[in-house]
Structure 1
Amino acid sequence: MPLESLDLALRAAAIALLAMLAVSLWRDLGRQLVGRLAIALALGSAAHAATFNIGGTAAPSLAFAPMIALATADIVVLWLFCRALFDDGFAPRWPHALIWLGVFGFSLTSCLVLGPAGHARLVIVANNLLALGFVGVTLAQTIRSWSADLVEGRRRVRVFVVIAAMAYGGVNALLQIASAGSGPSELANVVNAAMFLAVVGAVVLMLLRVGAGELFAPEPAQAVAPEVAAPRAADRRLVDALMRLMADERIYRHENVTIGMLATRLSIPEYRLRRLINGELGYRNFNTFLNNHRIEEAKAALADPAQAEVPVITIAMDAGFQSLGPFNRAFKTVTGVTPTEYRRLRLSTA
């Protein structure tokens, strides 16, 4: 089979898988933020499969320019998708949309203005430098929040995101930059298409094995901590010991509390403690588990008339928060009101 035909076949297979994935996600998760972002990521990835050209020298056509811009801006969608997938409390804001529009507009302008003006190499380099930047940000946030994740299936997905982002996203961008202006390479395009198809196929298999429900089920916003399910007999002792650390020793007050620290105190492996907090207590994130205990203490202090003159920041720091901003955000997420409003409401009815 000629290399050009093989390249087209690999691209077509990847686009078909992405289309199937988008339809499946729309059917099952179209109403969830992370599901909609996954669909957008799949569509942008399809645009990338249709438009990448290693070593291309010609300016993109008018018809292809919007698709190239969509493919470039898809790296922003990847960043937002990973934020939504790995951070249950993530909520998109208008600056996120502006960032996507900025990248899309920059890429589109580059294709329509710089490309026809004889600066095709500059267009390729600029677009792929943008991609490299967002790959780096995505990797950083994925690795930074890894230790607090309690969902085993989602932790395995982090491994995949890191490998795929480095092995394909980074390598593809560097290859595009290094080959820009050197002339189209059929072999390079075939290798790139094969790598891309492998990543897409791995995503589909991963969702079949891990289960989209486990990965994409967000932690519901609620006014109280998750209800503690009755633990199995084998885990009851560990649950009791963990709750004693929380209630009696108030270990959540300590600075830089980690799941490894708690596991050491309980003399069990980290994976077992993650499974216990996630499966038996209903938390998907370790920081949420700690913060709910901190907020319960803060709520009691704010409702205490004897502490009416104690500054809110003092109460926050005593409960284990390191600064006022994260405390205010976490408190409002759990209670629906700010700490000051909560204190005023409770003291007015005391």
Structure 2
Amino acid sequence: MTLTPTTLFDTALRGVLLALLLVLALVLGRDRPRLPAARAGALLALGLCVQVIGAMPLFEALVPRGWQAPFVAVSIGNGVLFWVFVQALFDDDFVLRPLHVVTWLAVAAVAALNCALVAGSASVLAPLTMGVQRAVPLVFAVLAARAAASQWRADLVEGRRRLRVFIVVTGVGYSVGMLAVRLASPRGQLSDLSATADVAMLLLIVAVVAWRMLRLAGSELFPAAQAPVTMPAMTPEAPLKEEAVAPAPVEAPPPPAAAEPPPPPEPAPDADPAEDRLAEALQHAMAVDRVYHREDLSIASLAAQLSVPEYRLRRVINQRLGHRNFNAFVNGFRLAEAMAALADPSKRELPALTLALTAGFQSIGPFNRAFKAATGLTPTEFRKQKLAES
């Protein structure tokens, strides 16, 4: 294969992209090694490194098809990794499950089989397996877009909200565009020009995402590590009052209910008086009116009730009260009320489901998961422990 200016330019772009991806993987793996989003991001960056090498026209022309199989497997599997990364990045409660690993392995195995044995053969499996391989990028791009778009309005971190939009638009656009180009190419291989356009687009997307991720503060992009909280034993001299349940202004899980609603946070010297009034109105709506009992409560409906734009309410909850997600903020109040009720001897006969529904949870499953994450105990274990101490 003759080295042309286009080939040299393509190689240079790939070198820059590889360096950027390796730096991104190193930073994510070094700074947040235990967070699912950082792990998924580092793996995706490494997977894209393999994809960048395997998609080089020179590599495709000179390396036997059988030896290309691992590169093709990883490249197609990157669609699954992208989906996992988006879920982990935008869902603070995301947990990597065996299903994610099995899905990646299955997709990679199909792609490797196609490259090594099926492609170009007369096998009856060729239409099926090649159809699956071609559908993978589109299917997982749509799934990733859905994950990024889901509960977008509940995200209180403005920088992360903008990153959602960019990832949805560019991720789906890139996947669909390159799928169309490969379908129109002989044997699915890219021409020199389309390969260079591919790496240029990918370099632009990765550069913007890396810049945004590294520019955002760690607390904005990733959730802080939290330890389970416990509730102090109730005593007859200091009973908890149901009508004054409210968590402190920190990310869920909240502390136990207090005897009286806590005062609004002290305003900073340069605080906006309008935001002070909004914080007070929000405190009253949650702790006194207990609007968190409403099943249909959303950032939009609460903003309408308080007669303020959504962006102002999001800013107060995020920057003044320290919450990253509206649903987590609301569930903090619900958990605090449920914890107080479970520790109340006068309610020992009421089922945990009744107390969960009363607090505003819509079913027992989400309540149990949120309760376990907040306390390290199931509702039943928590109740036994607190009633034994009372």
Matched, 1:104 2:144: no
Give the CA deviation at 1:149: 0.7
2:287 to 220, 232, 247: 247
**Which of 140-149 and 31-40 deviates more?**
31-40
The residue number in structure 1 matching 2:193 is 187
- Closer, same or farther in 2 for the Cα pair 1:303/1:115, shift >3 Å? same
- Specify the structure having the higher radius of gyration (Cα): 2
RMSD: 2.7
Identity of aligned residues (%): 40
1:136 to 139, 142, 157: 142
TM-score w.r.t. length of structure 2: 0.81
CA distance, structure 1, for counterparts of residue 23 and residue 122 of structure 2: 38
CA distance, structure 1, for counterparts of residue 335 and residue 218 of structure 2: 31
The residue number in structure 2 matching 1:27 is 30
CA distance, structure 2, for counterparts of residue 124 and residue 200 of structure 1: 28
TM-score w.r.t. length of structure 1: 0.89
**2:72–2:112: 8 Å Cα contact kept in structure 1?**
yes
**2:182–2:190: 8 Å Cα contact kept in structure 1?**
no
- Closer, same or farther in 2 for the Cα pair 1:83/1:195, shift >3 Å? same
The residue number in structure 2 matching 1:82 is 86
The residue number in structure 1 matching 2:262 is none
Q: Whose relative contact order is higher, 1 or 2, with alpha carbons under 8 Å and at least 6 apart? A: 1
> SS of the counterpart of 2:361?
coil
The residue number in structure 2 matching 1:334 is 374
Give the CA deviation at 1:94: 2.4
1:3 to 6, 17, 38: 6
- Closer, same or farther in 2 for the Cα pair 1:43/1:192, shift >3 Å? same
CA distance, structure 2, for counterparts of residue 236 and residue 107 of structure 1: 57
**Which of 58-67 and 324-333 deviates more?**
58-67
Unaligned segments of structure 1, at least 5 residues: none
CA distance, structure 2, for counterparts of residue 180 and residue 344 of structure 1: 68
Matched, 1:321 2:361: yes
CA distance, structure 1, for counterparts of residue 382 and residue 64 of structure 2: 58
Unaligned segments of structure 2, at least 5 residues: 231-246, 251-264
The residue number in structure 1 matching 2:98 is 94
**Which of 95-104 and 267-276 deviates more?**
95-104
**2:181–2:190: 8 Å Cα contact kept in structure 1?**
no
- Closer, same or farther in 2 for the Cα pair 1:251/1:227, shift >3 Å? closer
Matched, 1:295 2:335: yes
- Closer, same or farther in 2 for the Cα pair 1:60/1:219, shift >3 Å? farther
User: Would you say how many aligned residue pairs link Structure 1 and Structure 2?
Assistant: 349
The residue number in structure 2 matching 1:157 is 163
Matched, 1:283 2:323: yes
1:170 to 144, 169, 176: 176
